[in-house]
Amino acid sequence: MSKPLDRITLLETFVRIADTGSISAAARDIGLSQPSVSRQLAELEGRLKTQLVRRTTHSLALTDAGIDLLADARVLLDSWDSLEEKHLAGETGIRGKLKVVAPIALGQMHLARIAWQFQRDHPGVTITWQLDDQPIRFAEVGCDCWVKIGPVPDETLIVKRLGSVERLLVASRGFVAEHSQPNSPRQAEKLPLIALDPFEGGQIPLHQGKRVVTIQPDARMQTNNIFALKEATNMGLGMAVLPSWFIADELQSGELVDLLPTWRAPSLDIHVSYLPGRHRTLRLKTFLETIETEVPEIEGVERAI
């Protein structure tokens, strides 16, 4: 009879199954055979006397008990990582795995550079870099921290504001030549708009100091991808509201024009969020300190006060 595995190993295997979405993928990641991983899952279910995973021919899903265990398992494994880190840091420096979820455009254009420099400074850390603009279920995704533009819809997390993003109404040079540059928000309202989903209520509040004018331009196109939005704007299909950090080069070259230089759309805050608790790993603490320093240095991002 084989010797029962330790509980930490069983939980690590279960979390890997949940993260990869299949037993075979978890087995490949861990470096074990699929039957070995299946036996570990069965042993954990036997110890807890409950079914954790519901399997069919083509899919795998966690049961309600599995979803509850997943959140608890991540906390316990993080605590173990913190303990291990505490006693090994003097010998090996910061080490272990770090999973970060970040917005697609900001994560690709700026935050990735910060993350790669962090990894070079701390080669003992292995980074998983996931880009996603949609809200996530933090415990199910299993990330260490989540960088998001806009509010974080999860009251169970600790949320810190890193800075705010200036947004402006822009159009291509060719579009301006064809339609002429508006002198006021009401003139801009008559121009076709390319909107970033969700275009809530079809309204754009524009601010000039304390003065606010809300316009309702006709959206001739909508997209949920900011890269597609910029490309359509560059092609002259309409005006758009875009963050200044995203179009700094195009504004400088004149490819895009700030239609109303004294008016701005509402700014959006950049947040980083993570789980509460005293067992925060040293690698996470160090990464949070890094992005709190570096994000406000991005052009077009205002430092949090």
Identify the burial level of 242 via C-beta atoms within 10 angstroms of its C-beta, where 0-12 means exposed, 13-18 middle and 19 or more buried.
buried
Confidence at residue 300, expressed as pLDDT on a 0 to 100 scale: 86
At 179-191, the pLDDT tens digits run: 999 999 999 999 9
Q: Per-residue pLDDT averaged across 73-101, rounded?
A: 72
Handedness of CA 181, 185, 187, 190 (dihedral sign): positive
pLDDT surpassing 70 at residue 87: no
Q: What is the DSSP letter of 154?
A: -
Strand, coil or helix: what is 183? Answer: coil
**Count of other CB atoms within 10 angstroms of residue 91:** 7
Q: Which of 169-178, 262-271, 295-304 has the lowest mean pLDDT?
A: 295-304
pLDDT surpassing 60 at residue 89: no
At 207-266, the pLDDT tens digits run: 999 999 999 999 999 998 999 999 999 999 999 999 999 999 999 999 999 999 999 999
**Rounded Cα distance, 271 and 158, in Å:** 10
Domains of the chain: 1-92 (1.10.10.10), 93-163+269-303 (3.40.190.10), 164-266 (3.40.190.290)
Q: Per-residue pLDDT averaged across 283-295, rounded?
A: 93
β-sheet bridge partners, residue 195: 222
Strand, coil or helix: what is 168? Answer: strand
Backbone angles phi, psi at 279, to 5 degrees: -95, 45
Print burial letters for 110-135: b (CB count within 10 Å at least 16), e (below 16).
bbbebbeebbeebeebebebebebee
pLDDT surpassing 50 at residue 1: no
pLDDT surpassing 90 at residue 76: no
Which of the four pLDDT bands, split at 50, 70 and 90, describes residue 86?
A: low
- Chain centroid to Cα 125, Å, comes to 19
Helix (H) or strand (E) holding 220: strand 219-223
pLDDT surpassing 80 at residue 29: no
State the helix-helix crossing angle for 7-20 and 23-30, rounded to 10 degrees.
Answer: 120
**Rounded Cα distance, 19 and 126, in Å:** 16
At 39-71, the pLDDT tens digits run: 888 888 889 899 988 877 667 888 888 888 887
Query: 132 near 179, Cβ under 8 Å?
Result: no
Query: 145 near 283, Cβ under 8 Å?
Result: no
- Chain centroid to Cα 75, Å, comes to 20
Token representation of residue 31:
């470096």
Q: Per-residue pLDDT averaged across 28-46, rounded?
A: 86
Q: Residue ranges of the alpha helices (H) in 109-149?
A: 112-121, 138-141
Instruction: Report which residue type is found at 295.
Output: V
**Rounded Cα distance, 300 and 100, in Å:** 23
At 265-279, the pLDDT tens digits run: 999 999 999 887 655
